[in-house]
Each structure stands twice: as C-alpha cells, then as structure tokens.
Amino acid sequence: MALRPLHYLALTAAALAAAAGVWLLLNFDPNAADSPFPGCMFRALTGYFCIGCGLTRALHALVHGDILRAFAMNPLAILMLPAIPMMVAHGQGWRPRALEPLMRVLLAPMFWLVLLPVYWVARNLPWFPFTLLAPG
C-alpha cells in the first residue's frame, strides 16, 4: 500500500482536525451552559434522541479518560470508534487475514441499514433495558 502525496495531505488534514477536536473537547465542556458545541437539532425539534445524540459528551468523557461515562452517552459510537480507522485502512488496501470476517460484516451496507435504524428506535423506547441506550 503506497501512499501518494494526496493521501499524505488527507492524512495530515485528518490529523490536524482530530487534534483540534481533542483540544476543544479537553478545554470546553459540552455539558456547560456556555458550551461552544451546538445541541442536537433533531432532539430540539422532536424531543427524541437521534443516532448521534450524546456523541459530543461521549467524546468529551473519552478524552478525559472516563470510558464508562462515554459508553453511557452513546454506546454504539464508542463501540464503533475503533472500527472506523480499520475500515478506512481496509479500503486503502490494508487487509490482515484475521480481520477479514469482521470487515466483511462492517463493510456490508445491509449491516448499517439494519443497525442504525434499530439503534435509533431502541434508544427512544421508554423501557429497561432500552433506557440504557439513551444519553445519560
């Protein structure tokens, strides 16, 4: 897998964006009233949680080392966070044999077309254990 100059530029831009995001999350609390982070428009309009509700607060908890709080805010996002770089690397040609079965599932559109709507509905159900999926 040889990287072209455009790949280096994209990786540099992604690294800078990630560093800026981590800096913002380290220095600003999304739970505070004067937070620079926007709230969820879907939640404001409908009163229901979307797939991403709690993600900013989860990432804030994660960069502060509070993995359990991060998981409580958005369990799906925290579970899928390690998969994102692996899926990108797989798309660029990095294909370890041990990860192939997992990548086959994660890269299948049907997996996401089922998982995301089911998660969206489940985190809005008012019964235990579904209430555990709502941001804490």
CA distance 135 to 23: 23
Report the candidate in 61, 90, 63, 86 with the shortest Cα–Cα distance to residue 75: 61
One digit per residue, the tens of pLDDT, for the chain of length 136 reads: 566 777 788 888 988 999 999 999 999 999 888 888 888 899 999 999 999 999 999 999 999 999 999 999 999 999 999 998 888 888 878 888 888 999 899 999 999 999 999 999 999 999 999 999 998 7
CA distance 38 to 46: 16
DSSP string, 6-18: HHHHHHHHHHHHH
Angle, helix 5-27 to helix 55-63, in steps of 10 degrees: 90
The two three-digit tokens of residue 124, written as one number: 């809005």
CA distance 47 to 79: 25
pTM value > 0.85: no
